[in-house]
Amino acid sequence: MSTKLPIIVVTGFTREVRTVERPGIVAIAGGGAPAQLEQALDAAATVGARGIVSYGLTGGLAEGLRIGDWIVGDRLTGAIDHTCDTAWRDAIAAALPGARVGAFFADGRMIDTVAEKRALGERHGALAVDMESHIAAKVARAHGLPFAIVRIVSDEVGHLLPHAITVSMRPDGGFDREAMRRSLADDPDQMRDVVQTMAQFATGFRGLRRGARLLGDGLACPV
């Protein structure tokens, strides 16, 4: 039996957690609740870990990225500037054929216009955005742990998540179907975009499961 410490995996939705669950993994969903996420990550890191990786769906900030493309972080900008562990980055990229390596942006906000997505990508030289990586990086830095980001594109730079999707994440990372229904009742014209977005998410979740298998038990962590 392995005596190695676990890898801490940070996601947004609990459904992302399920794509990577296995022995040696401590997966924690952020659920759009940063203080709660930081507390949970700090507790897990205090017990002991080999490293922290931000894993899950991501929104593209650069032209040319398509649904299902893998992005591996080399640095993070936004709420915190942090360089990803180079050995872990390279091992992840080698395990995921076609993966793009580049910067992520994260400051906890839900980016609410296509114009801002494009502007953030250009201003920061970032390929993608998520809502958890800055918390994960903060905790990794505090505990002196290697940090990595590997995420799969579930919406392109020219696509804006509809309101019914943005209100559907519960603080525990679950999916709030009632909030989605209320939003759709208020604005039924969202339906087509919601259906498209859910199909994109489904593609992303399938990719996350395949990616977890390709990365192996330690998610390619070289430590």
Nearest 5°: phi and psi at 100? -95, 140
CATH code of 19's domain: 3.40.50.1580
172 assigned to some structural domain: no
* pLDDT mean over 198-219: 96
**Residue-wise pLDDT tens digits, 142-174:** 999 999 999 999 999 999 889 999 888 888 888
189 assigned to some structural domain: no
191 assigned to some structural domain: no
Q: pLDDT value at position 3?
A: 66
* pLDDT mean over 195-214: 95
**Cβ pair 148, 9 in contact under 8 A:** no
Q: How far is it between the farthest Cα atoms of the chain?
A: 54
Could you please report the per-residue DSSP string of 76-145? EEESS-EEPPHHHHHHHHHHSTT-EEEEEEESS-----HHHHHHHHHHHTEEEE-SSHHHHHHHHHHHT-
179 assigned to some structural domain: no
- Give the whole-number percent of the chain exceeding pLDDT 90: 88
Q: Count how many residues are written for the chain.
A: 223
Q: pLDDT value at position 1?
A: 36
116 assigned to some structural domain: yes
Q: Give the structural domain span for 26.
A: 7-162+202-215
- Count how many domains the chain has: 1
Q: Which of 112-116, 187-191, 201-205 is the least confident region? A: 112-116
195 assigned to some structural domain: no
Query: Which residues are 6's β-sheet partners?
Result: none
**Residue-wise pLDDT tens digits, 100-123:** 999 999 999 888 789 999 999 999
Query: Which residues are 27's β-sheet partners?
Result: 9
12 assigned to some structural domain: yes
97 assigned to some structural domain: yes
